[in-house]
Amino acid sequence: MRGVFAIATFGLLLLAPWSAEAQLDKNAQKEAKAMVEGRHYLRIDLPCWYVAGGFGIGVEPVVEVSPTAVDYERLGKAPAQATRATSKFWGLGPNDSVQYGTLQFKPDAIIAWLEGVAPKNQEVMVRFVQIKTLDEFKTAFARVFSKVPLQDEHPEWSAEVRQAIAKRIVIKGMTVQQAACVIGKPMAVSPTTENGVAGEVWVPRQENGTMLARMKIKSTLTGFPTMLKFVGGILQEIMGGEPPK
């Protein structure tokens, strides 16, 4: 996928409007490029628009990341310059691995392009904003990527929890943070109170949306439970769903 799609993607990006803002100097850009080399593991969901335009099929970012936040909303609309666009495809999420990273430096953003590792080898993009220094880029980059699988970052977690995260399943007793390493961003979160103890109910995504690739439409299910109930920050109840394949 690396050749044609990458050309199409950057061709579509060239049509996007630019705005003036401070940019990393050449030495900082060189170090930032070195950061994306090799394999990385996602900390978050990384949906993309798969679009067809004048340059062919490519991807455009949905997620915008600053040193202080991850924003799934601002880039939520289909790219205006595309002649055809699918719905957002949530093909890669927490603990999925990516490789072949490249960066494109723009006056108002840094665009990272990466390819998933087989069998999830679709392209993904993320837009980094409010980046004026290398340290700010490092902070924003760490919100999205880890150099090791997420369960390996936390040797203090129980073996049972770490094994569940590695298998992409949730189990009772997980914390909110641990469940997010599997589920990623829930479709909805509702606050609850049980016997005076605050909690929340998650509604995980059930579908990944659709992806346009090689002029074919791909749609998959997540296999996530339909509901997760936390009490006091601990997962107490799991309803529906099968573990992702």
Residue 67 shares a structural domain with residue 123? yes
Residue 20 shares a structural domain with residue 94? yes
Residue 45 shares a structural domain with residue 76? yes
Residue 125 shares a structural domain with residue 169? no
Residue 115 shares a structural domain with residue 76? yes
In a domain, 230, yes or no: yes
Strands 97-105 and 110-116, sheet pairing? antiparallel
Specify the pLDDT at position 168.
94
Residue 33 shares a structural domain with residue 142? yes
Residue 104 shares a structural domain with residue 12? yes
pTM here is 0.84
Task: Mark 8-32 as b/e (b = at least 16 C-beta within 10 Å).
Answer: bbbebbeeeeeeeeebbeeebbeeb
Residue 29 shares a structural domain with residue 140? yes
Torsion sign (Cα): 191, 178, 204, 70: positive
Residue 127 shares a structural domain with residue 187? no
Q: Quote the domain boundaries for residue 161.
A: 150-206+222-239
CATH number reported for the structural domain that contains residue 230 in this entry: 3.30.1450
**CB count, 10 Å around CB of 176?**
16
Residue 201 shares a structural domain with residue 87? no
Chunk the chain into consecutive blocks of 10 residues (it has 245) and report each block's average pLDDT, rounded to whole numbers.
Answer: 46 40 82 96 93 72 95 76 68 95 94 94 93 96 97 97 97 97 95 93 92 69 95 95 52
Residue 17 shares a structural domain with residue 118? yes
Residue 167 shares a structural domain with residue 133? no
Domain boundary among 146, 169, 192: 146
Specify the pLDDT at position 12.
44
| Domain count across the chain | 2
Check: CB of residue 72 under 8 Å from CB of residue 18. no
* 124 SS3 class: strand
